[in-house]
Each structure stands twice: as structure tokens, then as C-alpha cells.
A and B are shown apart, each in its own frame.
Chain A
Amino acid sequence: MADADPFDSALDLLRRLNPKHTSDHLNALITLAPDLAEDLLSSVDQPLTVKRCKQSGRDYLLCDYNRDGDSYRSPWSNQFDPPLDEGGAGGVGAGGSEGAGEGAIPGERVRKMEIKANEAFDIYRELYYEGGVSSVYFWNLDDGFAGVVLLKKSAPQGGSSQGVWDSIHVFEASERGRTTTYRLTSTVILSLSSSNNTLGEMDLSGNMTRQIEQELPVETDESHIANIGRLVEDMELKMRNLLQEVYFGKAKDVVGDLRTIGSLSEGQRDRETHRGIIGSMASR
């Protein structure tokens, strides 16, 4: 048997260990295999951090795509905090275009789209999340541009249950004349927990990732925002349904497979019927 690639093994491990502590496992893996650090940090999604923009007073989200060293760029002001040294700024150099993660500042046209996208997803956030924080970051590519749409919402503190939702939608837009191909990779990190005397502690946490590719007509730069908006909106609807199915359907069913509330001898016939239904659903 061929030796497994250490990077693939690290990803496999992260897919198995408790997703509530992915950041800790990631740090442990980097200590173990420092040469995997860069690849792991750019491919493993972690819960988003919120920061307040000093210029606009508005909150924005931090990720690898608006980071330059220890500084992060606010989508509202386009300024880095803490400010970058003069001449140390990243951005679109003469030849460089794929500068994400190195403090890439989008070119003028792409920044204009980025501003519009932030306005649009701010409305999207209010309509779907009724709170929370959103941020959109764009950067230039050789044949188009790319970006990330981030959304975060935490359940109000104080109740007996807690919840945090993080959406991370990374896309590449390859422009070809009147059409553009969008490749979207979406991850939702959802942590839920509940604790009280009768229930004890219950933690239901994890992440799910889905990808989609679509070629869509583009007339103006405004159509890019609309196309990306629809793609993200459809994807989030799909993923919300999927999360609902896995968190509250599948996980609950497995508990019922481990222990049955009803008596097994009495429920034999019922269970076989049930298995038949599950079987026919799985084979659809």
C-alpha cells in the first residue's frame, strides 16, 4: 500500500476529531508537522472572529483573505488595523494577482464591486439572520476575480441553549466575454449546545461543506453581485436544510439505533417496516 499523503491524513484527522475544537486540533497538527501549516491554514475553515472598524464603527469579520501579517482590512473603510507599514502593503502588484492571505487589496474595479457586495450582503444578513455580522472580501485573479462572503450570528447569551452559525463562501469568477463561470465552495460551521438538570449536557456541533459550479450571463459588474447573491442564497438554503436533516434527523435516529425507548421484542415488526423505509430512502 502506498504511503498516505500527510496533508490528506491531517485533513482526514480533522474530519474525525471533535469539530467543536477544530482550531485546537489544527494548532496541534501544525506543531506536529510545521511544513503543513500554510496548506492547512488556507484549507481548514475555523469559526470567524469579529472586529470593530475604527473608521466606520461597524463590525467586520476576520479571515485569511483580509489578513496581512497581524493586520486585517475592514471592508467598510478599506483600511488595515493595525495600519500597515508604508511600502509594506500587499495588494495587486505589477504581476501578482492571487494575493489573498497576503493582504491583497483589490484593484479599483474589483474594490467597487466589493463595496456593492458588502452593501448587498448587509441587506441579505438582515433579512435572513436578523442580526449578526457580514463581510465580503474580493481580490483580483488573472482571468477575473475571487472573493469570500462571510456571515456570523450568535444566539443571544443567557438562555439554557447556545448557538453560533458561521458561513464561509469562497468563490472564483472566471470571466469569459458575456458569461462568467462561478466556482463556489461553501462551509457552514454550526455549534449548538444545551444544558440543564434534566437533560444534562448536550452538544451538537460541526461543519459541512458543499461545492457548486455555474456559468451565468453577465452584462455589467452589477450582474456579478446579483449572480453571486443568488448562488450564495441558494446554497445557504440548501445547506440549512441539510444541517437540519443531519443535526436533528440523522443524529437523533442514530441515538434511536443505539437504544430503543420501546421494547425490542414487541417492536420487532415495527422496526423491520421502518428499516424498509430507510432502505428505500437511501436507495433513491
Chain B
Amino acid sequence: MVRLFLLICCLGVVMKVQCQEQQTKVETLLELSKTHDVISLTAETFKKYVVDQSRQYIIVVFFSSYMYKSQCPGCQALEPIFNEIAYSYKALGHTKPKDQNENKAKPVFFAFLDYGQETQIIYQKFGFSNIPNIYVSTKSFTEETTSYSIDRSKLWEYRDGQEITSNKILDFINKKTERDVTIQKSLLQTILPISIVLTILILIFALVYFIKHNFTSPKLWWFGCTIIYITCMAGVVYDIIHSSSLIGTNPQTGEDEFIAQGPRSQYILEGFLMSFLISLGSLGLILLNSTANYKNSWLMRLIGIFSIALILYSIYQVSFAYKNKVSWYTPSFDPPSHYKKGGLIADQGNSF
């Protein structure tokens, strides 16, 4: 009888301890999530919070790497989306414990596991061949020597070439955590576009205010127009949309390549250089014109020769670069030497 009582006492103590343990885990996570939307995990804390028994919360783990971020377009795309979702969950109060027995009401935490020497083994046990991945862990799982006993349906794995959209990821996480969360934007993000617009407007006004006296000066206007002209001619919008690199590499030789092949592609430096060369030609013509009314002097002659050289250099360089770029561009009307010669019928109008 006494034994039985003791046993019950022991059990009670054990359960209470367990409960307390649960309670402390949730509390520490809650504390952590107050300062960070996404909690960084180490191999130890991963074991404690994600793998180990007895917990009453859901934890969403994001597997990615800080170190290899630059080589991993998926990680770059997923990270802001994941942060945004984590923020939305927190903003809507899903991190607060309400009823710990139902999945629907369990608190949800978001965590991040960096790939490194210590955590490598966890990645292997998950069987990942690729990053980034997301695992929604609704209950603890057991650890075996080579793998985890995880619910594969709650795993989101990245495949090459897959498109990552905020909606898809949110849908996945919502489904697995049995909630209906929509993306919440932080105050900063809501104000950001309008503040950008306002700053630009204020800057423009400030600019106008400072150059008020020279505002109608045609030279200033011409300077502004030329800058717009050069930037547009350089194909800046193309560079931004296709995120071109400054210079490229030749796919065959692996050497640096300054001029992209084909008329439909370009590098940033190439665009600006060519547009600048074109404007140099114009500058030469303008210089010539502005010296034309000077009285005869050696300075004028010097500037004249310099400008002509400038124009010739500019048009030669631009035409040369274009011919290099577009191989079929040969604006001449003499048919190549191996073509058939003869009358209109014989050579089919090639020399026409």
C-alpha cells in the first residue's frame, strides 16, 4: 500500500516535472520569439526544442545556409518570404499558448537551422540533398542512427528550377499548422513605398529650391537631358530586369568577355561604355559648333582637330563593336566572292 502510494507520488512528481519542463520550454521560446521572429537554432537547441519528447507547440524549421547564400538562389528567395510569414504569425498572436492539446491552438514558433559542421549530421538525417527546406514539426520525433522518424508530408523540399512564391509557402505552412494566416506587413513595410515617394518629392523640391536661380539656364537643362539620354541609351532597364553582370565570361574559353554576343543581350559596362562613346561623338560635334564663331587662332584649330578626332574615334569604335557583337551585320551590297555571278536571273538578284 505504501509502495503503491509512493509510486503514485513518484509518478505525480515525474508528470509535474514533465509539465514544468514543457512549460519552461514554451516560455523560453516565447521569450526568444519576442525579440526575433525567427529563432536561430544550434545542433544542441535543435535536439532540445525540435527532436526531444514532451512539448506542446509547433515549430517550423527553415533549413538553409548563411555561408552558401550567394550560390543558392532558392535560399535568397525563400529567406525574406519565411521571415515575412514568421512575422505574420507573431503579429496575429499565434505564438501565444492558448490550448496546448489541439494542433489548431498550439503556439507556433519559427526557427532557422544554419548549415555547418555541427549541424551537418542533422541535414544528413533528414536526407536533404539540397537547400532550402522547410519542416513543420507538430510533434516530437525519435532519432535513429541514420535518420529521423519524421512525417514526410510535412516536409517542403526545394527542387531545382522550382518557382518560390510567397503564396505557395504560406499555403503549405497554413495547411500543416491548420490555420488561416494571411501575410501581415509590418508598419515599416506599409509606410515604405509612400515614404520613398515622399522623399523623392522632397528631394526634387530641394533640388529645385537650390538651383532656383539657375533653373532656367539652358546649359543646366542640356546637362540633365544628356545624362538621361546616356542612361537610357545604355539600356539600364534591361540591366535591372535581367540583372546583368558588369562584365561576362565567355562560355567557351572562360575568359572575361566585355561584349555579349547577339543583339538581344548586353552587360552593364558594355551598355554604359557604348552609350558614352556615342555621346562622345555628339560632344565632338557640339565642340566644333561652339568654336565655329571664334576668331581665328591656334586654339580653335586645335579644338577643331581634337573634335574631329573624337567624332571619328567614336563612330569607328561603336561600329566596330556592333559588327563584333552581331555577326550577320555586314552592310555592304557586294555579294560574297563565292556567290554565283551573272545576270539578274542567274544570281537571283544578289547583286541587285
- Does A associate with B in a complex? no
List chain A positions with a Cβ less than 8 A from chain B.
Answer: none
